[in-house]
Structure 1
Amino acid sequence: MEHYDFDKKTSRNETYSAKWSALLGDDVIPLSVADMDIPLPANMIERLNTFNHKGIYGYTLLSKDWNDTVSKWFSKHHHWDIPTEHIVFCPRVIQAISIYIQSFTECSDTILTLSPAYHPINDAVRLNHRQLLESELIYEDGCYHIDFDDLESKFKLAKCFILLSPHNPTGIVWEEEQLIKIAKLAERYNVFIISDDVHCDFIFNNSQHHFISTLSHYVEQNSFICTSPAKTFNMAGLEVANIIIANNKIREEFKNCLAAAGIHNPGYFSVPAFLTAYKECDDWLLSLKTYLAENRSYAVTLLQKYFPTWKITQSSGTYMLWVNYQSSGISEEQLKHWFISSAKVEMSWGSDFGHAGEGFFRINIATQRATLVAALERIVSTFPYAPQE
């Protein structure tokens, strides 16, 4: 296998990076926004450079083998055989979710989620003037569980259920039994499921990622399964997502909604980046996952050593850690002040994920090892209550 240098630092200054914005100061290390500080695979960069040298950035079309490429990726990596006609391109998953809410539900309808939850999902519900209903996950000693009694009571009221799989921010990889229970509730109460599976390529133990539509004929015919190479290959700015819709009628309606919203041509760099990623970059991804697993192990070990009262959620998905600091007795405002003003490190704060996220913060470990080490060492050295060696 080829050697990949994931330790090489690449400055993101002057790239308008949402993660590395100068709003907090040039000396702040962000471990917040869920993108990686890892450049694309070299062959992807070379391919994009070839397109860049043309100097003409006109309208583009999806390639003839686009859907076939999607299908082959999921068959190879997830043992999921997707008929090519079920695949619909949409630039971003959150666009697909918003379009579904706008076009397939009414203002009086209720949209159900599990909380805490990735906040743009909840924002999409609220900003589209639908009723957001949250079923709070049960937290016990570093683990999360679904409260199925509460979930069922809320399925009775819901038009649509939005599932994050793996879950963001907790990193839970849902077990097959849990997903089957959710599928049965959806069928019992005639609820449509949107499943956001964008983190499915990052599983860090022997857990198996399951797509909920493969476990139930009802869900297969009443769901959007949202996939994207954006997290996998760190190409969110190129805006590529593929929505899997098995139901012919719903799929055609959704395509019409995309056209009505003016969404048709992909971005100029989207097609070559996507095709190269899914066709040629398996070894790079395998090496990256090994590197990130080592980052994850380092962060967990250090935090457990210096902050034994903090509990890192037991999970195996995503390249984030979800940390419970409630036993430390400090508030989120105090934590923010310490991290940003003293340690010069930015995290994602629990309150951003709703009430159920209060007392937690999220760490993005997908960066160069030296950057991660520097950030965590700053935290250790500046916390006045941390036990020192």
Structure 2
Amino acid sequence: MDQGNTAFILICAALVLLMTPGLAFFYGGLVKAKSVISMMMMSFGALGLIGVLWVLYGYAIAFPGAEGTLAPWTIDTGALGLANLLETPEDAAYPPLAFAAFQATFAIITVALVSGAIADRAKFGAWMVFAGIWATVVYFPVASWVFNFGLAEDGSFAYGGWLTHGLQDVFGVGAIDFAGGTAVHINAGAAALALALVLGKRVGFAKGVSVPHNPPFVLLGAGLLWFGWFGFNAGSELAADGTAALAFVNTIAAPAAALLAWLLVEKLKDGKPTSVGAASGAVAGLVAITPACGSLTPFWAIVLGLVAGAVCALAIDLKFKFGFDDSLDVVGIHLVGGLIGTLYLGIFANGTGLIYSGEFTQLIVQLIAALSVLVYSFVLAFLIGFVIEKTMGFRVKNEDEIAGIDTVVHGEEGYVLADAR
């Protein structure tokens, strides 16, 4: 066992886990002051629930091993409760539990991301029911489509599910998704769009009506997200080597360029660059580089960041054009940014992209992977959300939304400036 790589994976897992509290601050600063507790609690609720479900059966679905490599929905019953991961094989590079811990943090942050689309108007209990069901029938299986790997019967190493290894058998190249552009960002963004449609618009929804109540929270959250993202991207190599170093550098370059591009678009469009724009631009770049961080040169990572920052800065206004209330721009940043990063690989991926190979095969494969995850996640998220809304109710009353849902849902206030005596 390589103790260095084991330590690397465990540290990266801790970094990725920090991203969920970081997301809570990022989202919490974007909502109104009377909804900040509700918003942050949806991230912490996901942390608790998905952490437990992952151990109980999530890992068993997401990583059924070589026997389930190309199957879209299988389960390793021996991995329930992580039972068959307790011992480390003598020839293993790292303990199986270290990998399970690392991937648990991916499941947690992916579910938490979805909550940004329903800010200011969702019941906490309904959100928790949705989170548990969606993780079970969408995230866990989709993770197996992309990340599952194991040893085949002939001893060969089979990496990836049907979107990666399976498409490679058909097209000669598989979909590239180094750290989760499809499984995390497109997946969460599609579900966010579905929930925004199910819950409907906030009271008084219009451009310029809702403004972030605490930009310093937004900047703090973005900083924590960026810090944790180094574990997210570099850690996905599962070894402290040159590819991890490339992913690390690209995780600096792309979001830095996206931050600048977002601010430039803001300046040209609205006349002023904002702190919230800087934070959002950085996150858009982080989203876009996630699938591509191990397959681009730093130069092309900067170009990707510039494209993602500019396009996502414009995409966040789509909700006003099309009339869906994606409260905190999960669609505009995560769905759009995830699509950009995933499809960009079809052109610029080292070795197999169009500019290197002269062929469109990689782009076609990337498109298949992106659309497969998008449609699957959107349809099931819409159905789950619709059933919850029609049964237990997903949305709070309009009067509670107007007053602020923190006290109604959680019996707490985010800011108590003076004690009532």
Q: Structure 1-normalised TM-score? A: 0.30
Q: Which has the higher helix share?
A: 2
